[in-house]
Homo-oligomer: A and B are copies of this chain.
Amino acid sequence: MKAPKYKVIIDYIKEQITNGIWPVGSRLPSQRDLAKQFGVNRSTIVTALDELAADGLVEGKLGMGTVVINNTWTLMRSAPPVNWNEQVGLGTHQASLSTVQAINLAEADENLIQLSKGELSKDLFPLEEMRAVLTKVGQELEPFGYEDPKGNPLLREAIAKYLNQKGIMVHASSILVVSGALQALHLISIGLLERESTVFLESPSYLYSLSTFQSAGMKLHGIPMDKEGIIPEMIEASHHSRKSVLYCHPNFHNPTGTLMGEKRRQQLLKLAESAQLPIIEDDVYGDLWLDSPPPSPIKSHDRHGNVLYLGSLSKSLNPGLRIGWIAGPEAVIDRLADLKMQTDYGSSSLSQRAAAEWLVSGLYEKHLLKVRKQLKVRRNAALEALEKHLSSFAEWDRPAGGFFIWVKMNSDISLPDLYRKALANGVLINPGRIYATQKMQHFRLSFANAPVEDIQKGIAILESLIEDC
- A contact residues vs B (CB 8 Å cutoff): 1-3, 7-8, 11, 14-15, 18-20, 55, 72-73, 75, 77-85, 87-88, 90-93, 95-96, 101, 104, 108, 119-120, 122, 125, 127, 130-131, 134-135, 137-139, 141-149, 164-165, 169-171, 173-174, 178-180, 182-183, 186, 189-195, 197, 208, 211-212, 215-217, 243, 272-278, 303-306, 308, 314, 318-322, 328-332, 335, 338-339, 341-351, 354
B332 touches A348 (CB 8 A): no
Cβ–Cβ < 8 Å partners of A344 in chain B: 178-180, 182-183, 186, 322, 344
Contact indicator B119/A331 (Cβ below 8 Å) = no
On whether the beta carbons of A164 and B3 are closer than 8 Å, the reply is yes
8 Å CB contact of A276 from B8, B80, B143, B314: B80
Tell whether, in the assembled complex, residue B79 and residue A276 are in contact, meaning their CB atoms are under 8 Å apart.
yes
Q: A82-B276, A92-B92, A122-B145 are in contact. List 18 more A-B contacts (CB 8 A).
A: A11-B169, A14-B305, A18-B331, A81-B272, A82-B273, A88-B191, A93-B190, A93-B339, A96-B341, A104-B341, A125-B144, A125-B145, A178-B344, A180-B344, A183-B344, A190-B190, A314-B345, A320-B349
Give min CB distance, A18 to chain B, whole Å. 5
Measured CB to CB, the closest approach of chain B to A346, in angstroms, equals 7
- The secondary structure that dominates the A interface is loop
Quote the shortest CB–CB distance from A158 to chain B (angstroms). 14
Asked whether, in the complex, the Cβ of A165 is within 8 Å of the Cβ of B338, the reply is no
Task: Name the residue on B nearest A140 (C-beta).
Answer: B131
Contact B320 A144 (CB under 8 A): yes
CB-CB nearest in chain B for A123: B143
A146 touches which one: B18, B119, B146, B275 (CB < 8 A)? B119
Is A319 a contact of B345 with CB atoms below 8 Å? yes
- The answer on a CB contact under 8 Å between B91 and A193 is yes
